[in-house]
Amino acid sequence: MNRDALTKIYEAAVNRALPAETLNPRLKNIQPAGKLLVFAAGKGAGSMAKAVEDFYLGQNILDAGRIKGIAVARPGYTKPLKRLEMVEAAHPVPDEKGIAATERTLALAATAAKDDIALVLMSGGASANWIAPAAGISLDDKRELTRALLRSGANIVEMNCVRKHLSRIKGGRLAAALAPARVITLAISDVPGDDPSVIGSGPTVPDVTTLADARTILEKYKITPPVSIAVALENPDNESPKPGDKIFANTSFEIVATPKASLEAAGEAAKQLGYEPILLGADLEGEARDVANEHAALAIKLKREGRKAAILSGGELTVTIKGKGRGGPNQEYALSLAIALNGEAGICAVAGDTDGTDGGAGRADDPAGAFVDELTIPRAKKLSLDPAGILRENNSTHFFERLGDLLNPGPTFTNVNDLRAILVDS
């Protein structure tokens, strides 16, 4: 296995999206007459908040008394901050810490004045970290719904549509809370098409989806929600602010890191390593095992053609969970790819989430994905592992753990979705 090459390609994608590199050029133009209020959420929240502190305080651009804010990230993704508050809250299933941090976020937002600038820093994972259930909905009900959505195979666009209609901060509502301050949102995208209203469930932008859309999604996946959520999705008071609403008159939104840019960086790294980069796109969606089968067929075709190539793709795949095992979309993709390749010589691959964790239990040491090569299936059989049976149980973590082939970079403090790389050496 050319694990070194695969790791370099993965790291190139991650490094292209690091906040320290992407935020500074934008911060130069943000100079408040009053206070700078910072609101950060998601897997990049800690690193983004630190970049803001380093810029304004490290260069003495603003005195500490004019900067205030709170950053909320998943466990293991915090950074040491001097002025801003840093909070650790659960992901992907929300917890009490997330609720408490979100209430403090909304309380600070209510203090925003006309001369202030509210700097909102968004990254993937914010939907779980900023948890402020709409009236009548308990945390337990939100957690039950979140688990059901995660198991259903719903994609991130669908999940966030539902979330936006059950929240007091998502779907444009943070922008309403921050008026009359100027609101500037800088975001790291982890969603297909880089749609601002989907990143972190769009707390500062208009929402074109409706309560009816949210109900349709639950029906599509045969999810029967708790009674409180069913009632909330029928309540017109929970409809999200739409385009043209005056609350967005003094807001702006910019994406500072994208899956496409990271995929291109991976392509550059592959080229430097002597491979012909074949980019399939940064926004791939679909069931992980189905996409893996398609990619395996392409890899074998390229090998038959005598090509030395790197098949690269991004996007967020889904897993419809039917078993009781452990693993995320990248590990399931990797296991499915190994089964489809069936020991084909000269082909190896890595699939990993650029945030450093793939599914798992919400711990910082969860794996990001896994490596695959021509020996994956033969080695598994020597260990009496049944790849197909393990796949049926959605137990890919166990499979790659036994082989020692998990990708474990640890928290990367950013998130531009998944990176899949297949190297073909004919």
Q: What is the pLDDT of residues 279-317, one digit of tens each?
A: 999 999 999 999 999 999 999 999 999 999 999 999 989
Q: What is the pLDDT of residues 380-416, one digit of tens each?
A: 999 999 999 999 999 999 999 999 999 999 999 999 9
pLDDT beyond 70 at 420: yes
Bond preceding residue 92 cis, omega within 30 of 0: yes
Distance CA 45, CA 280 (A): 29
Position 1 scores a pLDDT of 67
Assign 351 a pLDDT band (cuts: 50, 70, 90).
Answer: very high
pLDDT beyond 80 at 57: yes
Read off the pLDDT of each residue in 367-388 and give the average, rounded to a whole number: 97
Read off the pLDDT of each residue in 129-144 and give the average, rounded to a whole number: 97
Q: What is the pLDDT of residues 167-211, one digit of tens each?
A: 999 999 999 999 999 999 999 999 988 999 999 999 999 999 999
Q: What is the pLDDT of residues 245-288, one digit of tens each?
A: 999 999 999 999 999 999 999 999 999 999 999 999 999 999 99
pLDDT beyond 80 at 162: yes
Assign 365 a pLDDT band (cuts: 50, 70, 90).
Answer: confident
Distance CA 270, CA 280 (A): 14
Taking the alpha carbons of 230, 216, 122, 127 in that order, is the dihedral positive or negative? positive
β-bridge partners, 88: 73
Position 360 scores a pLDDT of 67
Position 363 scores a pLDDT of 80
Selected residue with higher pLDDT from 21 and 425: 425
Q: What is the mean pLDDT of the chain?
A: 96
Read off the pLDDT of each residue in 318-329 and give the average, rounded to a whole number: 91
Read off the pLDDT of each residue in 52-71 and give the average, rounded to a whole number: 94
pLDDT beyond 90 at 67: yes
The domains of the chain, with CATH numbers, are: 19-132+167-206+241-257 (3.40.50.10180), 260-424 (3.40.1480.10)
Position 192 scores a pLDDT of 85
Read off the pLDDT of each residue in 133-148 and give the average, rounded to a whole number: 97
Assign 364 a pLDDT band (cuts: 50, 70, 90).
Answer: confident
pLDDT beyond 80 at 80: yes
